[in-house]
Amino acid sequence: MPHAHPHAFGFLNARTREGLTLSRRGLLKAGLAGVGGLTLPQLLRAREAGRAATGKSVILLWMAGGPSQIDTLDPKPDRPPENRGPFGVTRTRLPGVLVCEHLPKLAAALDRFTVVRSVDCRHSNHEPNTVMQTANLKAEARTNPETRHYPAIASLVAKFHGPNHPAAPAYAAFMRSRSHLAFGGYLGRGYDPFLANEAARLPVYDLVGNDTGQLSGGKMFELPADVPPDRMGDRRGLLQNFDRLRADLDASGAMAGMDRFGQQAVGMLTGGRVRDALDLTKEPAATREKYGKHLWCQQALLARRLVEAGTAFVTLDLSYHTASGTWDTHGDNIPPYGGIRKGLGPLLPLFDHLVTKLVGDLEQRRLLDQTLVVAMGEFGRTPQLGTQGSTDGRNHWPYVMSVLLAGGGLKHGRVIGSTEKDGGQISERPVSPGDLAATVYRHFGVPLDATYTDPTNRTLNLLPDGGDPIKELF
């Protein structure tokens, strides 16, 4: 916001953009940029200027690598083994609808979900995984160097909707690898995700999914011992205690962009809202036990807690390794990916528990109508087994993908679209990345004809390749 007087903390360079993808020290610096002269009413007025929170949220379960549609949500049990794969099927609560045998909990609750079997992801690739997370068909980094500039759907939600509480980040993520997420791009680093995994104490897994027995740091919100929280609002105290930072702030660039995020950072540091949300010890033991000790399940529980704290969009990077993603099941002889039986097989019971527990918990806490849960990757996998010299792997297949949705107050208990007999091509009702994005934007109440400007003042469309909300859901 414009000021008629000099900033009290001008030396912090608060007018340059940066996001909350910061270290503990960086977050502390972020708080300083917005402290001087701001009262709670001013914070709230700033929050209300230009956008109105709806209380709506999205939790994206990002299956990095691309899960096989045939071996999960679109089985082909009557096909030859080299097509149908090694798994059997199970009946669901929806008459005539089958899913993989390793998804029994989902099968029993499928009336609360929607399966979209006809998502067209022909332009999508991975590392970075951006087409599906941006709804921009040009966002294929291996062929287009401009990809990094295209904002994530979540970043655009952060811009046009904002958080549901002024002391919470609008866009948060549990990130395994930077190449697995889309960022703020043209919007500026102020719309990058807040990396919740850096602020929470979570189990550390190795690249193939083994629990190392260690815990991540989770010290982002710890203030230096000589700066008690009650001094954070005291301008003189801040100057006295942090004058020693003055010399290196400008050179580090860590304070860029804090004019926008400083207000949130102060709330995080002094109010403890997000800090408490990311502290699993504050969750009842019975609930923690129901979710389980697995890293991904604990992150799902923290995602629910972040939604309760006011975060609008939370992405979980469901991957162990930092390359193309754990769901990239090329074959058992291509470690660390594995094939369908040994690679995908162990993931499915875990995902089955995670997604049903999360949706059930949201429903029990009366949050499900406000929270849209989306589970997807960047593409599907080949109809035929045995790619790249493996016995049961499947290669990338951008022609069709299955997506799972729940909640958001939408109409569920249905299957949308279908594929041909071998599961390799869309047969009916193609759904584009833009359609998925438009569904998310409508959920948040963001106008589909909204525009924004890049740093050169060029006007860009919210949906660069068009898209319509999936009408069957509304």
Any domain includes 204: no
For residue 128, name the pLDDT band (cuts at 50, 70, 90).
confident
CA distance 277 to 261: 19
Alpha-carbon distance of 225 to 217, in angstroms, equals 17
- What per-residue confidence (pLDDT) applies to 42? 38
* Confidence at residue 310, expressed as pLDDT on a 0 to 100 scale: 96
Residue 274 counted as domain residue: no
The verdict on residue 264 lying in a domain is: no
Domain count, the chain: 1
Residue 22 within a domain: no
pLDDT tens-digit readout, 278-327: 999 999 999 999 999 999 999 999 999 999 999 999 999 999 999 999 99
Choose the weakest-confidence range: 228-232, 381-385, 457-461, 467-471: 228-232
The tens digit of pLDDT for each residue in 387-423 reads: 888 889 999 999 999 999 999 999 999 999 999 999 9
CA 88 to each of CA 101, 144, 231: distance values in angstroms, whole numbers, following the listed order: 5, 40, 61
414-416/194-195 β-pairing = unpaired
Phi, psi of 473 (to 5 degrees): -90, -10
The single-letter DSSP state of residue 276 is H
- DSSP letter at 211 equals E
234's tokens: 């005291």
Enter the DSSP assignment of 342. I
Q: How many residues does the chain have?
A: 474
Q: What's the angle, vertex CA 191, arms to CA 187 and CA 194, rounded to 5?
A: 160
Q: What is the pLDDT of the chain when averaged over all its residues?
A: 84
* Residue 27 resides in a domain: no
Checking if the pLDDT of 229 tops 50, the result is yes
Q: Cα–Cα distance between 138 and 152 in angstroms, integer?
A: 13
- Tell me if 24 is assigned to some domain: no
Reported confidence tier of residue 265, pLDDT bands at 50, 70, 90: low
Angle at 181 between CA 424 and CA 134, to 5 degrees: 65
Beta bridge partners, 472, equal none
Residue 281 lies inside a defined structural domain of this protein: no
HSE toward the beta carbon, residue 89, CA cutoff 13 A: 18
- pTM assigned to the model: 0.84
Annotate 36-53 with DSSP letters as a single string.
TT--HHHHHHHHHTT---
Average pLDDT over residues 188-192: 92
Q: Is the pLDDT of residue 381 over 90?
A: yes
Give the domain range for residue 105.
Answer: 57-184+286-473
**Is-contact 61 180, C-beta < 8 A?**
no
Beta strands in 97-167 (DSSP E): 98-100, 113-119
Residue 245 falls within a domain, yes or no? no
Return the CATH number at 162.
Answer: 3.40.720.10
